Amino acid sequence: MKFVVLFLVILGAHFSLTPFAPAPAGAAKFYWPFAADSKPWLGFIGGLPTTSGSIITSILAGLAGLGFLAAALGLFWTGIPSSWWPVIVIVSAAASAVLYILYFGVWAILPLLLDLALLWGVLLQHWTVSSLRGGQAIS
């Protein structure tokens, strides 16, 4: 199960970090959901990090992407306290969900489903680092 969750959080990081390296204009795909011409449905948000006035997108994408990477690292490294892991996943999934709701379109559906799956796992299935590692005690 640990490797399934690892795949999910790495995929979440990938989706969340694509605003920093968007596909060419009009070339968004299910595996690369942001293109250079992606625009939020709320105009005052700004746009992608490559445009001026885009602080909200940068913060959401950075928070979600780095959080998901920290969650992946936390599955294997004890330098990240295991008690932080569920919080990191929840905050990352929430930031990612807000990002994809702001840029909602057909390519936002898969990342939103991924966020929901991670939230379901942490909140309803009570995924923890200890349970995902197979019950190993964390020192």
Residue 120 to residue 8: CA distance in whole angstroms: 12
The per-residue pLDDT for 135 is 59
Does residue 64 surpass a pLDDT of 50?
A: yes
Burial status of residue 62 (CB atoms within 10 A of its CB: 0-12, 13-18, 19 or more): middle
Average pLDDT over residues 108-116: 97
The per-residue pLDDT for 73 is 95
The per-residue pLDDT for 70 is 97
Does residue 131 surpass a pLDDT of 60?
A: yes
Check the CA dihedral 111-114-118-123 and report its sign: positive
Q: With contact defined as beta carbons under 8 Å apart, do 57 and 19 qualify?
A: yes
The per-residue pLDDT for 71 is 96
Domain boundaries, the chain: 2-132
Does residue 32 sit in helix, strand or coil? strand
Average pLDDT over residues 35-59: 83
Measured in degrees and rounded to the nearest 5, phi and psi for residue 58 equal -60, -45
The per-residue pLDDT for 24 is 92
Does residue 61 surpass a pLDDT of 50?
A: yes
Residue 65 to residue 63: CA distance in whole angstroms: 6
pLDDT band for 87, please (50, 70, 90 cuts): very high
- For the chain, helix (H) and strand (E) counts, in that order, are 5, 0
Residue 119 to residue 117: CA distance in whole angstroms: 5
Question: Taking the complete model, does pTM exceed 0.85, yes or no?
Answer: yes
pLDDT band for 1, please (50, 70, 90 cuts): confident
